[in-house]
Amino acid sequence: MNGHRKKFAVILAAGKGKRMKSEIPKVLHRLGGKALVDWVIDAVLPLELDGIVAVVGFKKDEVISHIREKYGDAVKFAHQPELLGTGDAVARALEFLPPAGDVFVLCGDVPLIRTQTLRKLFETHTTGGNSATILTARVPDPTGYGRIVRADDGSVLKIVEHKDATPGELAIDEINSGTYVFRIEDLAPALGKISNDNAQGEYYLTDVIGVFCESGRRVGAVSVEDYHEILGINSKEQLHQLEKFINSYQN
């Protein structure tokens, strides 16, 4: 049924990463000897995609140069001139995507995502006939992450960002990893319906999930077994922690 549908990946790589306290673009910081964004590209390359788009912004020329040097023409680039959030970033990538198909959306600073997890996410997405499928994880400390709010039947109601969460929502330990699969024909119109009326003044990709849920579209979720796989890098301390984690596996 889905054999004719094309499949893409969008990698969000526009951020400066203020908490890194560095002039190096966040996705070019190194883990285990390679740039964070390289880990993500290496994870999606085996998925037999019809295209990969990296959304670049801060010091875009450096990021583009690095990726082109390593991956040649395998990656196309969309430019996000102002960092107005993940929803705006994905909207910038739409011009590189067809009107219909499926698209992974991944963060360029989440290095340990595995190809086999992405395959499982895609399988759940297609077999469930979902408009969106979210990769989630249960974590010991969900501080700073968007929380997954589920209905009584286990379906996804919404994702609420940490800064906008109620005390009850802050108690939820299931978090959004920032990794998704979307049906492009449902994603594009939904992006046009989200607003930046929130604490950050940004367009959240997570609000697309709310648009889907309100309109009765099916949203699925797959939880990873090891939450390390979805950990994002926001500071040098987090980078050092993940370096220690991968070294413990290698030794």
Beta 174-183 vs 132-138: how paired, if at all?
A: antiparallel
Residue type for 250, please?
Q
Q: Are 233 and 31 in contact (CB under 8 A)?
A: yes
- For the stretch 102-123, pLDDT in tens is 999 999 999 999 999 999 999 9
Model confidence, pTM? 0.93
Q: What is the pLDDT of residue 249?
A: 73
Q: How far apart are the first and last CA of the chain?
A: 45
- For the stretch 9-53, pLDDT in tens is 999 999 988 889 899 999 999 999 999 999 999 999 999 999 999
Answer yes or no: 217 catalytic.
Answer: no
- What are the domain boundaries of the chain? 7-250
pLDDT surpassing 70 at residue 152: yes
Q: Tell me what the mean pLDDT of segment 124-143 comes to.
A: 94
Q: Are 66 and 35 in contact (CB under 8 A)?
A: yes
Tokens in use for 166? 């109620």
- The DSSP annotation for 160-184 comes to E-GGG--HHHHT--EEEEEEEEEEH
pLDDT surpassing 50 at residue 1: no
Q: What is the pLDDT of residue 200?
A: 87
* Average model confidence (pLDDT) across the chain: 93
Cα 226 to chain center, whole Å? 17
Catalytic annotation, pick one of 19, 68, 114, 119: 19
Share of the chain above pLDDT 90, in %: 81
Residue 188 backbone dihedrals phi, psi, to 5 degrees: -60, -50
Q: What is the pLDDT of residue 251?
A: 54
Buried b (16+ CB within 10 A) or exposed e, 156-179: bebbbbeeebeeebeebebbbbbb
Q: What is the pLDDT of residue 157?
A: 85
pLDDT surpassing 60 at residue 2: no
Domain covering 7-250 assigned CATH 3.90.550.10 in the classification: yes
- For the stretch 46-83, pLDDT in tens is 999 999 999 999 999 999 999 999 999 999 999 999 99
Which are the contacts of 126, defined by CB distance < 8 A and separation ≥ 6? 1, 2, 102
Q: What is the pLDDT of residue 138?
A: 94
Q: Where are the beta strands (DSSP E) in 122-169?
A: 132-138, 147-150, 156-160
Tokens in use for 164? 């906008």
